Every structure is written in structure tokens, then in C-alpha cells.
Amino acid sequence: MIPPKKILITGADGFIGSHLTELLVRNGYHVKALCQYNSFNSWGWLENLESLEQVEVLTGDIRDPHYCKLITKSVDVIFHLAALIAIPYSYQAPDSYVDTNIKGTLNICQAALENGIKRVIHTSTSEVYGTAQYVPINENHPLQPQSPYSASKIAADAMAMSFFNSFNLPLTIARPFNTYGPRQSARAVIPTIITQIAAGHKSIQLGDVTPTRDFNYVEDTCRGFLALAECDSTIGETVNIASNYEISVGDTLNLIRELMGSDVEFLTDEQRLRPDRSEVFRLWGCNKKLQSLTGFKPQTGIRDGLQKTIDWFTQPENLRHYKAGLYNV
């Protein structure tokens, strides 16, 4: 077992962050979990963790550089996940994405440098690649800012890597492809379908279902994060976390419908369509670099992962967290 280290996870109250918190606690790490400050004193999905008593929960905002410097003291490793991620909302509020994703990343990197952090894992996204120019997409694929969100993440990745190149900050960029699973936001297509079918809807409003995606079960994504952090060879590298498997959104939805025994009808909702040049039509990630550096391989196939996701969402105590049928940007 790896000797326990003190970990800071930004965005720990979110979907992936809460799962990563669980994984790190199980592996013997002491976790400081940063949740975005709010007056309700809500810790997001961390509220549901059975291991919460083993987690040091903090509330604050990565947009404040002074706060970032304070919380990164006496920390060994930072997993930087905090970000604004909704693509439709980025059309409406792009300046918010600059503040959180770019400036927030700058604040974390500067604080990490000043406090002598041993490792920083910065979270990117497959959206930075845009529609595939070739497949599978490896880390050398051109970056294409097809939405304000993806543009902000391209800039955040560049800011993070500049701290490695300029100041030798021991940093790795983790670039996960489309992660799904329990606790995912209803703005994503898989929870949208599951929650509406579970709520008894006979028809479901959707955007374009022709694009393809490389879906990754959340536990695999988190194991990929940990593998990157535990391998010194990944320092200074950008590494995909992908399944190396491609499936269309439409086929994914039909598989969900089959697994749930539903005859629901899928309808196109114009407000859910991205602008023409903004839609990413094909994502299929190459995971050879991750495997060669760390030996990591995903363990959960799409069918098993969807079944686990359905099992979680269809529990009444979980389903009540979602507003089925309400379009969430």
C-alpha cells in the first residue's frame, strides 16, 4: 500500500470529485475536499458519502487566490477538478468560464508552486479536441475551441502546463473523455434519459443523437486519475483517460431503453441543439499513452456501466435529487 499522503481535491462536491474522494479514502489517503462556498452550507454529493467522517471538508472558491494559497499549505498532491462544465451555459455566460476555469487554474497552480506541492493533477476534457479529425484521438490531436467552455479549458490546460515548463511545477494534465455514472448532473444526456424514463415519461425531448462519444464509467475515470498521480513518468505530460470505444448517442439511448424495459419515444427539442459549428460530432479516445505509462486499463464496459448507473438513479432516494423533464443547461 502507498504511504498515506495529504490530498486536496477541488470540486470535490461534484460528480467526479465525490467519487474520487471515495476512492482516495479507500486507498488510505487523507483527503481535504473543497466544495464551492454557499450560504446553505451544502457539500453537494459529499453529503451522501459513507466515508464522510474521514474527509476534511472545506468550503471556498478557487477564484480567490488568497484562499487557494491558504488551503494548499501542508498538502502533498492536488487533484484540480473545480470548473464550470456545462456547454449550453457557456454560450450564455462565457465570462464566468474565464474566471473559474482559467483564472481559477492560475490560482491553484500559483498556490501549488508557492507551497511546494509535490504533484498537481489538472483536469482537462475531451471537448478540447472538438470533432475528431482522425480516430482514435491521441494527445497530439489538434485542439479546436468549438464552444466557450472548450476554449476556457484549452486556455486552462495551457496555463497549467506553463507552470511545468516555466517553474518545474510537477504537474500532469488528465484529459478524461465522457464520464458517466451515479450522481452525474441532469444536464448530461445519460441522466436525462434515465431520470425521465424512471419518472414515467412516455416521450423525451433530446438534442442531436447522431454524435458519437467515448463513454467512461466514473470509477474507471477516477482510477485513471489515481494511476496518473502515482506514476512519476506522467509529470509534464497530457494523458487521455478513455475507453478506446466509440458509440453514438442514439445507440446509447436505445441501450438504456432496452435495459430499463421502456418503450419511450425520443423527440428532437430545438433548444437542446448546439449551434452548427459548436457541435462535437465525434469523440473516440486513444488510451495507449495512459496504458504505456501506468499500466492502467478500464474495467467497466458500457453495458455494465449503464446498468450500474440505472440501478442508482432508479432508487427513489436518489431520483428525488433530480427534476425529471426540466431542461438543465
Q: For the segment 39-71, what is each residue's pLDDT rounded down to a tens digit?
A: 999 999 999 899 999 999 999 999 999 999 999
Q: State yes or no: pLDDT of 273 exceeds 80.
A: no
**pTM confidence score:** 0.95
Task: State the pLDDT at residue 329.
Answer: 65
Please check whether residue 289 is in contact with residue 240, taking contact to mean a CB–CB distance below 8 angstroms. yes
* Separation between Cα atoms, residue 76 and residue 222, nearest integer Å: 18
Q: pLDDT at position 277, please?
A: 81
Rg (CA), the chain: 19
Mean pLDDT of the residues in the chain: 94
Contact (Cβ atoms closer than 8 angstroms) between residue 128 and residue 285: no
pLDDT band at 3 (very low <50, low <70, confident <90, very high): low
Please report, for residues 181, 184, 294, the alpha-carbon distance to residue 261 in angstroms, rounded to integers and kept in the order given.
19, 22, 39
Cα angle 189, 195, 198; round to 5: 140
Q: What is the pLDDT of residue 275?
A: 77
Task: Give the tens place of pLDDT for each residue, 63-115.
Answer: 999 999 999 999 999 999 999 999 999 999 999 999 999 999 999 999 999 99
What's the whole-number mean pLDDT along residues 282-310? 97
Q: Where in the chain is the domain with CATH 3.90.25.10?
A: 184-213+245-319
- Tell me the per-residue pLDDT of 114-138, one tens digit each, with 9 for 90 and over: 999 999 999 999 999 999 999 999 9
pLDDT tens digits, one per residue of 237-268 = 999 999 999 999 999 999 999 999 999 988 77
Cell digits of residue 52 = 464522510
CATH of 184-213+245-319, one of 3.10.580.20, 3.40.50.11140, 3.40.50.2000, 3.90.25.10: 3.90.25.10
Class of domain 6-179+216-241: alpha beta
Give residue 185's Cα distance to chain centre: 11
d(CA 237, CA 288): 13
Strand, coil or helix: what is 261? coil
CA 8, distance to chain mean position in Å, is 16
State residue 2's pLDDT score: 47
pLDDT at 4: 57
